[in-house]
Structures are given as C-alpha cells and as structure tokens.
Amino acid sequence: MSVYSMTGYASLQSSTAQATTETEPARDTSSRLGVEIRSVNSRFLDLAFRLPDELRQIEPALRELLTGKLKRGKVEVRVSMESAVASSLRAPSPATLQRLGSLEDSIKAWLPQAAPLSVADVLRIATNEDKKPHDHSEELLQLARQAVNDLMAAREREGARLALMLLDRTAQLRALADSAVPMVPKLVEQQKSRFLERWKEALALGSSNVLPEIAQDRALTEATAFAIRIDVAEEITRLASHLDEIDRLLASGGELGKRLDFLIQELHREANTLGSKSASLELTRVSVDMKVLIEQIREQVQNIE
C-alpha cells in the first residue's frame, strides 16, 4: 500500500448536453459542471460542501463517496454549474406572443400607468418559459468520482515525497545513534583515570593509612557507578527499535499517521533521556541534533493520513 498525504487538490469541469423535446426547435442547450476538491491535514475526517441550491440534494451521495475513499483530513468540495444556451435569441412562438399580449391588455385595464413590455422583456420571458428542469445528479457524481480519483493520486504523490523525507531523517538519526555508542566507554575510561589521579593526589598530600590497593578499588567503584549513570545503551536500543518500526510502517503504507505520531513521541522521550545522561559536550550535541531531526519528522507526520 502507498503512503498518503492529507494535502491534495483536484479540479475538473465538463459540459453536459440537455435534450430538447420533439415540439421544441433544435437548440444547443448545455450546462458546464465544475468540481473542485481541496484537502489539508486534520486529526479526523472533516467534510465541507459548497453546492448550488439546485444541487443540494446530491450532498449525501458526495459525502458517501468521500468517506469511502478518505480516512482523515479537512476536505472542502466546491461544485459550480453554469448554463450555456447557444442561439437563445430565437423568435418567440405566436402562442407565446398572443398570451403575452392578452396579459398586457389585462394589466393595463387595471393599471393604466404600467409600462408596456419591451422587446428584451418578451425575449427574457420566452426564454424562461422554454427552460426545462434537468437532473444533473448522475453527471455530477461521475465528475466527482473522477475528481476524487485525481485527489487520491495527488495525495499519493505527496505521500511518497513525505515518505522519502522521513526515511532520510531516520537514516540520519541512526547515524547519530551510532556515533554516540563509542562515546560512553571513552567517557568512562577518562573518568576512571581522573578518579585514580585524585586518589593518588589525596594520598600524597595526606598522612592517610589507606593502602594504594584500597584507594584504587575505591576509584574503580566510583568509575563503575559513573558508567552506570551515563550508560545510554538502553536508550540507543529503544531508539533504534522505534526507527525500525517507522521504516516498517512507511514500507507497508496505509493509514499510519496516528501510529507514526505515537512513535515520534517515543523518539523524543529517548532523545531527552540521552541528553539528561550526557556527560560530555559531544554527547549533548548528539542529543540536540536528534531533537532537531525528530521535530522535523513530527512536523511532516502531521500531514500523513
């Protein structure tokens, strides 16, 4: 399965012809339908629809279509419809003109001051009379299905880019963890030498009856306690385990954003613990660099479905 981003965009338009009746003169009557879908990241699936009034009844079908394809994200669907009538300035039928003349005479009988009908008024009324209701549901759903497929393709492309970036960051984290492993034995050896030197200085300055062998054992005990305090092997192991799981999830794909978010929290915890155990500037820098990379991963994981 692929990794999907919650960020995507798709826009489609199509023209649908409306059939004319046998009693009507042949006309080129069509409607231009447009579907635009935008999606951004969100904790849950949040759908919003902007539909013309004459297409409100299609919202449940559109909602069912989107919920069947998308799992998370804030999604906005805009539908537009523009009517286009070629050769609409045609002569009104004699029946229409006769009916308009009778209506105008009746109105003037009651309202002598009423303005007479203009040519533009007659053409507008005749055109509106010829308009027949048309159900655009099937055309719109077909267009919406294609737009949703385009949106999924866009989210898949963005998801692939995010997956590559995350894999690069996990590789950098592994390199930092590997660089931290040999630092601890060196620090322990350095600290043991310091303890021994301090014990020797103390023995030389004082008149203590403590034997050199006992002093050396005490120094080794202190060095061992120090090694236990700064040992980060457990943190490095857990960090590597979390990185392996992130790589596995990215390879498997699917709906993994929430699981990745949990793993990022665990990575941050291990990096903080490693920093708190740091006994050298080099190890502190490793911890800080890890936190920077983990924060970069966290920001991008927010966009994964």
pLDDT band at 202 (very low <50, low <70, confident <90, very high): low
pLDDT in the model for residue 24 = 45
Q: What pLDDT does 228 receive?
A: 56
**Structure tokens that stand for 266 in this block:** 């665990």
Q: State residue 247's pLDDT score.
A: 93
User: Per-residue confidence at 158, pLDDT binned at 50, 70, 90?
Assistant: very high
Give CA–CA dist 82/37, Å, rounded: 18
Distance between CA atoms of 157 and 151, rounded to whole angstroms?
A: 10
Cross-sheet strand order for the sheet of 73-86: 8-17, 28-40, 73-86, 45-50
Question: Got the DSSP string for the chain?
Answer: --B-BS-EEEEEEEEEE-PPPTTSPP-EEEEEEEEEEEEE--SSEEEEEE--GGGGGGHHHHHHHHHHH-SSEEEEEEEEEEEEEET---PPPHHHHHHHHHHHHHHHHH-TTPPPPPHHHHHHHHHHHH------HHHHHHHHHHHHHHHHHHHHHHHHHHHHHHHHHHHHHHHHHHHHTTHHHHHHHHHHHHHHHHHHHHHHHS-----HHHHHHHHHHHHHHHHHHH--HHHHHHHHHHHHHHHHHHHH-BS-HHHHHHHHHHHHHHHHHHHHT--SHHHHHHHHHHHHHHHHHHHHHTTB-
CA distances from 251 to 97, 166, 197, 247, 294 (A): 72, 11, 53, 6, 19
More reliable by pLDDT, 54 or 158: 158
At residue 233, does pLDDT exceed 90?
A: no
| Residues 32-91 pLDDT 10s | 889 999 999 998 999 999 998 888 899 999 999 999 999 999 999 999 887 655 445 567
Identity at 96, one-letter amino acid code: T
> pLDDT tens for residues 270-284?
888 887 776 677 888
pTM of the model as a whole: 0.69
Query: What average pLDDT does the segment 127-152 reach?
Result: 81
Residue 268 and residue 122 in contact, taking contact as beta carbons nearer than 8 Å = no
